[in-house]
Structure 1
Amino acid sequence: MSLLELSGVSVHYGRIEAVSDITITVEEGEIVTLIGANGAGKTTTMRAISGIRPLSAGRISFAGEDITKLRADLRVVRGISQAPEGRGIFPGMSVAENLDMGAYTRKDRKELRGDIERVFELFPRLAERRTQVGGTLSGGEQQMLAIGRALMARPKLLLLDEPSMGLAPQIIQQIFRIITEINEQGTTVLLVEQNAQQALSRAHRAYVLETGHVVKSGTGAELLTDESVKESYLGVA
């Protein structure tokens, strides 16, 4: 049984079909990445998984349970947490307050202190800025905060939507190292990313989306050496 399974999923925006009949699986313990050009349907797929966009057709199951019609907040309770595209932090709240907001669904309040310390171990920069308001952080620091906030829900599945967008190469390397570390600590990761080189280098498996369809899948290593992927997404002719 896969941790996450999308079966024949389609999503529309009005009459426009953004995702068409896609089937994707994520096994427990994996990093799986979705790559593709802008408008390929990657972010729509993530929104469907997190419950923000309703399906036009198909089914989503998580840990053996059909969650197709489950509300977004209840999916967080089940164990799906997302760091959205554009980070979406609370700019007027401090780093510590943002992290606390990530745990809003949890009942085990006594254990929050340890989880905040775990986030600070992963992201020492955030520990230095714990009282600083989110809106004054750099882009890289805001991305770290978005990931840290998502981790505060103790997810079984962490959804990361374009975590490297707009960041300097050195910060991108750091973010991807931490994503690998999060995975090695036991969290399954589904990653949408335009930086295909970094994503495929870190991913166990990957899917290529084009105009709302899955056109290719394989291990990260296989797709790194695939000629059409190299030409289209890795800048190698």
Structure 2
Amino acid sequence: MLLELSDVTLEYGRIQALHGISLTVDQGEIVALIGANGAGKSTTMRAISGLRPVASGKIHFDGQDITKMRADLRVVRGVSQSPEGRGVFPGMTVRENLEMGAYTRKVRTEVDSDLQRVFGLFPRLKERERQSGGTLSGGEQQMLAVGRALMSRPKLLLLDEPSMGLAPKLIQQIFDIIVEINQQGTTVLLVEQNAQQALSRAHRAYVLETGRIVKEGSGSELLHDPAVKDAYLGVA
């Protein structure tokens, strides 16, 4: 097991955002978290990446308790996040943005080979290599955010709403690339409002409602679950 959350709670001031979340991600999986706005999906990601401290519960990653570990040290351990909203550095070039993702890396030749890997996954970024991040389209910025997260060579890639604001054709492309990244050996935990796309690619998935996990199963099971269809897929 690569990642395990055990009875994790998290609070924003007096508001309890997570109520005893327990989930697992095994090596080599794509696992999806789906749910409505405010369900706690992004909060769960922030707890895993160390951007928000948990109030109680435990987070284990790759055999180690990382519950109180600093966020930057989690990156060194192998947890990397592509955040909601992309967070591209607008004044830096595409290449400089990608190199920022490799700040924990020491061996230059490995960084160069990972840069080529990202350009192989996202040829558009190679074309825009010298262009500033702020001038890219929304889809290109999403590619850049994912590429930057990959530059730390993570064992676990956290993707928070990778399809947000993208045209349908680009959404399909981003999800195809997520599958390719997974097939190349990177485990993926995916938060996504586009439940149809997420569940059709995920090995397993969890449904969150108001900070609680209310359903779990294979991607296929949840894709065909009548309650999930009704609530998240827009069909009865």
Q: TM-score range by the shorter chain?
A: over 0.9
* Matched ranges for 1:152-171 at <5 A: 152-171=151-170
* TM-score, L = length of structure 1: 0.99
* Matched ranges for 1:47-196 at <5 A: 47-196=46-195
Counterpart residue number, 2:235: 236
Quote the Cα distance in structure 2 between the aligned partners of 1:111 and 1:158: 18
Quote the Cα distance in structure 2 between the aligned partners of 1:53 and 1:191: 18
Give the superposition deviation at 1:110. Answer: 2.1
Quote the Cα distance in structure 1 between the aligned partners of 2:40 and 2:110: 37
* 2:2 is aligned with 1:15: no
C-alpha offsets along residues 111-138 of structure 1, whole Å, 9 cap, x if unaligned?
1111101100000000100000000000
Which amino acid counterpart does residue 102 of structure 2 have in structure 1?
A
* 2:222 is aligned with 1:205: no
Displaced runs of 4 or more, over 6 A: none
Paired-residue identity, %: 75
Quote the Cα distance in structure 2 between the aligned partners of 1:193 and 1:59: 24
Q: Secondary structure at the match of 2:96?
A: helix
Quote the Cα distance in structure 2 between the aligned partners of 1:17 and 1:189: 26
Q: Secondary structure at the match of 1:70?
A: coil
Which amino acid counterpart does residue 6 of structure 1 have in structure 2?
L
C-alpha offsets along residues 38-96 of structure 1, whole Å, 9 cap, x if unaligned?
00000000000000000011000000100000000000000000000000010100000
Aligned residues: 236
Quote the Cα distance in structure 2 between the aligned partners of 1:18 and 1:146: 26
Quote the Cα distance in structure 2 between the aligned partners of 1:48 and 1:81: 13
What runs of 5+ residues in structure 1 fail to find an aligned partner?
A: none
Quote the Cα distance in structure 1 between the aligned partners of 2:58 and 2:87: 27
Which amino acid counterpart does residue 137 of structure 1 have in structure 2?
L
Q: Secondary structure at the match of 2:10?
A: strand
Q: Secondary structure at the match of 2:146?
A: helix
C-alpha offsets along residues 174-200 of structure 1, whole Å, 9 cap, x if unaligned?
000000000000000000000000000
C-alpha offsets along residues 150-204 of structure 1, whole Å, 9 cap, x if unaligned?
0000000000000000000000000000000000000000000000000000000
CA RMSD of aligned residues (A): 0.4
Which amino acid counterpart does residue 106 of structure 1 have in structure 2?
R
Quote the Cα distance in structure 2 between the aligned partners of 1:108 and 1:231: 50
What runs of 5+ residues in structure 2 fail to find an aligned partner?
A: none
Counterpart residue number, 1:5: 4
* TM-score, L = length of structure 2: 1.00
Which amino acid counterpart does residue 78 of structure 1 have in structure 2?
R
